């Protein structure tokens, strides 16, 4: 018997969707919501374990997954501890050479009923539970992938039928992630649902999208409140009418034939996920919609459920983004944005160093965009068609950094079970960007100097050196001259690195660019959140311009993201800004000269952290060594 014809399976599906929708419009916390969704998914698919996660882009533009719910498959004490400590806040998975990695990169379902022989499968850690079968499904919202689900070890394997049956549930998972991203409020859920009709009503009236159900003739049986708002009809007006009345030509003339053809032949022209078509408002206005249609059975009769999302705001946001892009193209260099005098100087410096093949040292405070400068140099250089490999030196230990930079051969050290290509070899023919170069250890400094001088690299465990054709660009937020004076950095390496030298200005020295940057970040957030926020209020722009920005451009971007998430009107206002930007004390500091301002910032940071210098350094976005140097400069060490 088909699953959709099995009343028990259908009731479980309907109950799972109803419960999730009720929680979406209520006040249930994220963990409870997604744990419930995962439990329901495992039950409906008869799977042993799985996860529900949200996709994000890292600073390099690579997609990765952060889980909202995941089954505990710990296989030893270490992994059990890791799960318990990190799962509540979401586990992150960056390895794309896996089955679920292919879902994220291809944005298509992955069915693997023989994982051990599947070429898309990555290796599993020693002791990991056996993977007998796997199904990964992308979650889409407004035509964009925002997450995925993965389930494993279904006894009978996975197939297209199950994928189709789970479509309404998957849309509910996508809605939950979308609602979480947008920080939307929901009305209190309808309580104590008793029968099938009440449960269906809960789905319809509590859903984020418009939902309309029709019978086999195309007649509307029910519609929710969002459908009223979207199409301009009361629910009572919609019931009993043919669905084609909500469609412009030629769709309305073809729709009934599509349904009849499906009933006769099974050809699914009208059944599918994420199709973009046009809708028709009561006043005759046409607008773009995303339509997802699924089929169920209620008491033996076929029922078609259509989930509809208005794409007008998204299209308008895309239009505004294109307009802004035209403006920014006149004020940007690569991904760098700015038209101030210091930025024009920076653009000229990038052009000056790009044509050569010498090493370049980029200096600047945290958050100023040093990696963007490195990418701009690469893009303007003769190596533009070669690889650009970015390495955060501070994120790796000394032993690990050496292995990652230069590569190693099998057996070079304990745990080296196979050969590994290093970052230098991966960047051959292109550019290697070494961020936070001031944090590398002395032995890695020696090896790096040898590579620069000889243009060759020796992987760990290999006696013979390999020739290299790599341009090196390094960056630091430290004063490497001070590091040389204290013996923490090799003088000969410093001279080798800063043949070309670029200083990236802090945001406080390019205040005329703040409004332009804020508009660019808002345009990105319009697309990401789907919110139709048209502008930034003039008072906000003034406040942003006065703020001292210890975290520089990175902090500004974060502030606009915060404001977009919390904004509930068509324009970002002062109340939407993060609290630290609204602080009168810190605003007044921005009016003082730079020397007095920085001294006050130091005092404020120490006061805020109760004198804890490590926390004060983190608060200011600088290293602990820099903090001590600044305290000494401002005669504040005794305080």
How distant is the alpha carbon of residue 340 from its chain centre?
30
Query: 219 Cβ partners below 8 Å, 6+ apart?
Result: 240, 241, 242, 243
Question: Which pLDDT belongs to residue 316?
Answer: 61
What is the Cα–Cα distance from 412 to 213, expressed in whole angstroms? 64
CATH of the domain at 42: 3.30.450.40
Q: Is residue 222 part of a domain?
A: yes
For the question of whether the overall pTM of this predicted structure is more than 0.75, the answer is: no
Q: List, for residues 272-316, the tens digit of each pLDDT value.
A: 455 778 889 999 888 888 888 877 777 777 888 888 888 776 666
Question: Which pLDDT belongs to residue 63?
Answer: 92
What is the Cα–Cα distance from 612 to 617, expressed in whole angstroms? 9
Q: Which of 561, 545, 502 is nearest to 368 (CA)?
A: 502
CATH of the domain at 603: 1.10.10
Q: Is residue 194 part of a domain?
A: no
CATH of the domain at 248: 3.30.450.20
Q: Is residue 423 domain-shared with residue 547, that is, in the same domain?
A: no
Could you state, in chain order, the average pLDDT of each consecutive group of 10 residues for the chain (639 residues)? 56 78 66 89 91 89 91 84 85 88 91 88 75 92 86 92 88 84 45 43 57 87 86 89 86 74 65 71 88 77 82 63 52 76 88 89 94 92 91 72 72 63 85 90 85 82 80 93 92 92 94 90 85 86 90 94 90 89 55 63 78 77 75 74
Q: List, for residues 225-240, the tens digit of each pLDDT value.
A: 888 888 999 888 888 9
Q: Is residue 495 domain-shared with residue 545, that is, in the same domain?
A: no
Q: Are 447 and 402 in contact (CB under 8 A)?
A: yes
Q: What is the secondary structure of 431-452 as a DSSP string?
A: EEEEETGGGS-HHHHHHHHHHH
- H helix runs in 455-575, sequence order: 480-485, 491-497, 514-529, 538-546, 552-566
Structure tokens belonging to residue 593:
């000269």
Q: Are 124 and 159 in contact (CB under 8 A)?
A: no
Question: Which pLDDT belongs to residue 7?
Answer: 62
Question: Which pLDDT belongs to residue 587?
Answer: 46
Q: Is residue 424 part of a domain?
A: yes
What is the Cα–Cα distance from 530 to 144, expressed in whole angstroms? 11
State the burial class of residue 240 (Cβ atoms within 10 Å of its Cβ: 0-12, 13-18, 19+): exposed
Q: Is residue 118 domain-shared with residue 158, that is, in the same domain?
A: yes
Question: Which pLDDT belongs to residue 493?
Answer: 92
Question: Which pLDDT belongs to residue 54?
Answer: 93
User: Domains in the chain: how many in total?
Assistant: 5
Strand order from edge to edge, sheet including 360-363: 388-392, 431-435, 471-476, 360-363, 500-503
Q: Are 166 and 16 in contact (CB under 8 A)?
A: no
What is the Cα–Cα distance from 100 to 151, expressed in whole angstroms? 10
Q: Is residue 196 part of a domain?
A: no
Q: Is residue 103 domain-shared with residue 29, that is, in the same domain?
A: yes
Question: Which pLDDT belongs to residue 584?
Answer: 44
Q: Is residue 488 domain-shared with residue 531, that is, in the same domain?
A: no
Question: Which pLDDT belongs to residue 335?
Answer: 77
Question: Which pLDDT belongs to residue 334?
Answer: 63
Angle, helices 613-620 vs 624-633, to 10°: value is: 90
Query: 50 Cβ partners below 8 Å, 6+ apart?
Result: 38, 41, 42, 70, 71, 149, 150, 151, 152
Q: Is residue 487 domain-shared with residue 352, that is, in the same domain?
A: yes
CATH of the domain at 531: 1.10.8.60
- Strands 431-435 and 471-476, sheet pairing: parallel
Last residue of a domain, one of 586, 607, 623: 586
Q: Is residue 377 part of a domain?
A: yes
Q: Are 133 and 154 in contact (CB under 8 A)?
A: yes
Q: Are 216 and 245 in contact (CB under 8 A)?
A: no
Last residue of a domain, one of 480, 503, 526: 503
Q: Is residue 537 domain-shared with residue 410, that is, in the same domain?
A: no
Q: Is residue 489 domain-shared with residue 548, that is, in the same domain?
A: no
Structure tokens belonging to residue 541:
């722009």
Q: Is residue 493 domain-shared with residue 540, that is, in the same domain?
A: no
Q: Is residue 346 domain-shared with residue 459, that is, in the same domain?
A: yes
Last residue of a domain, one of 503, 536, 554: 503
Question: Which pLDDT belongs to residue 159?
Answer: 92
What is the Cα–Cα distance from 621 to 611, expressed in whole angstroms? 16
- C-alpha distances (whole Å) from 8 to each of 169, 212, 297, 298 are 16, 23, 11, 11
Structure tokens belonging to residue 480:
């490497």
Q: Are 66 and 39 in contact (CB under 8 A)?
A: no
Q: Is residue 228 domain-shared with residue 290, that is, in the same domain?
A: yes
Q: Is residue 195 part of a domain?
A: no
* Torsion angle in degrees (nearest 10) through CA of 72, 76, 82, 83: 10
Q: Is residue 161 domain-shared with residue 222, that is, in the same domain?
A: no
Question: Which pLDDT belongs to residue 589?
Answer: 46
Mark residue 202 as left, alpha or beta (left: phi above 0; alpha: psi -120 to 50; beta: remaining).
alpha
Q: Is residue 127 part of a domain?
A: yes
CATH of the domain at 487: 3.40.50.300
The residue range of the domain holding 530 is: 316-324+510-586
β-sheet bridge partners, residue 502:
362
Q: Is residue 189 part of a domain?
A: no
């Amino acid at each position: 018997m088909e699953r959709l014809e099995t009343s028990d399976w259908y009731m479980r599906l309907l109950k799972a969707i109803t419960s999730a929708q009720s929680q979406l419009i209520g006040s249930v916390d994220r963990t409870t919501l997604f744990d419930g969704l995962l439990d329901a998914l495992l039950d409906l698919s008869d799977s042993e374990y799985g996860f529900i996660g949200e996709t994000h882009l890292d600073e390099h533009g690579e997609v990765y997954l952060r889980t909202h719910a995941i089954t505990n498959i710990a296989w030893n004490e270490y992994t059990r501890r890791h799960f318990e400590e990190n799962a509540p806040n979401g586990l992150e998975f960056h390895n794309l050479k896996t089955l679920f990695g292919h879902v994220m990169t291809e944005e298509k379902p992955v069915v693997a009923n023989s994982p051990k022989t599947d070429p898309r499968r990555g290796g599993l850690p020693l002791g990991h539970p056996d993977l007998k079968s796997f199904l990964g499904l992308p979650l889409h919202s407004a035509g964009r992938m925002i997450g995925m689900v993965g389930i494993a070890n279904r006894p009978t394997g996975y197939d297209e039928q199950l994928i189709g049956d789970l479509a309404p549930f998957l849309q509910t998972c996508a809605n939950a992630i979308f609602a979480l991203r947008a920080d939307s409020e929901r009305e209190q859920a309808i309580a104590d649902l008793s029968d099938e009709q009440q449960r269906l009503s809960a789905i319809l009236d509590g859903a984020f999208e418009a939902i309309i159900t029709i019978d086999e003739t195309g007649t509307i049986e029910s519609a929710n409140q969002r459908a009223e708002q979207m199409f301009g009809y009361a629910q009572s007006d919609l019931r009993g009418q043919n669905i084609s009345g909500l469609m412009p030509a030629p769709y309305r003339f073809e729709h009934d034939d599509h349904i009849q053809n499906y009933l006769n032949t099974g050809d699914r022209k009208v059944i599918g996920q994420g199709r973009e078509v046009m809708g028709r408002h009561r006043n005759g206005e046409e607008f773009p919609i995303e339509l997802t249609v699924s089929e169920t059975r209620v008491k033996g009769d076929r029922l078609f459920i259509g989930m509809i999302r208005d794409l007008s705001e998204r299209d308008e946001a895309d239009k505004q983004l294109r307009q802004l892009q035209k403006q920014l193209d006149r004020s940007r260099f690569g991904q760098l944005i700015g038209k101030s005098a210091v930025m024009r100087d920076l653009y000229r410096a990038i052009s000056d160093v790009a044509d050569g093949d010498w090493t370049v040292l980029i200096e600047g405070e945290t958050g100023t965009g040093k990696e963007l400068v490195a990418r701009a140099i690469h893009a303007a250089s003769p190596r533009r068609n070669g690889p650009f490999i970015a390495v955060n030196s501070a994120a790796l230990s000394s032993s690990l950094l050496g292995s990652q930079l230069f590569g190693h051969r099998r057996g070079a050290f304990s745990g080296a079970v196979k050969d590994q290509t290093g970052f230098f070899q991966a960047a051959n023919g292109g550019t290697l960007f070494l961020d936070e170069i001031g944090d590398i250890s002395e032995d890695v400094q020696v090896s790096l100097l040898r590579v620069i001088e000889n243009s060759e690299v020796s992987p760990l465990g290999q006696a013979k050196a390999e020739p290299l054709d790599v341009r090196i660009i390094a960056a630091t937020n430290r004063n490497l001259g001070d590091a040389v004076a204290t013996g923490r950095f090799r003088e000969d390496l410093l001279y080798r690195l800063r043949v070309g030298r670029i200083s990236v200005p802090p945001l406080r020295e390019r205040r005329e660019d703040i409004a332009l940057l804020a508009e660019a970040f808002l345009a990105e957030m319009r697309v990401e959140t789907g919110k139709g926020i048209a502008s930034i209020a003039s008072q906000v722009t003034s406040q942003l311009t006065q703020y001292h920005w210890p975290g520089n451009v990175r902090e500004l971007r974060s502030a606009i993201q915060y404001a977009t998430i919390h904004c509930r009107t068509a324009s970002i206002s002062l109340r939407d800004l993060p609290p630290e930007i609204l602080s009168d004390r810190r605003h007044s500091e921005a009016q003082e000269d730079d020397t007095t301002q920085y001294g006050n910032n130091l005092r404020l940071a120490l006061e805020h952290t109760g004198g804890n210098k490590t926390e004060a350094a983190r608060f200011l976005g600088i290293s602990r060594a820099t903090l001590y140097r600044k305290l000494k400069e401002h005669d504040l060490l005794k305080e």
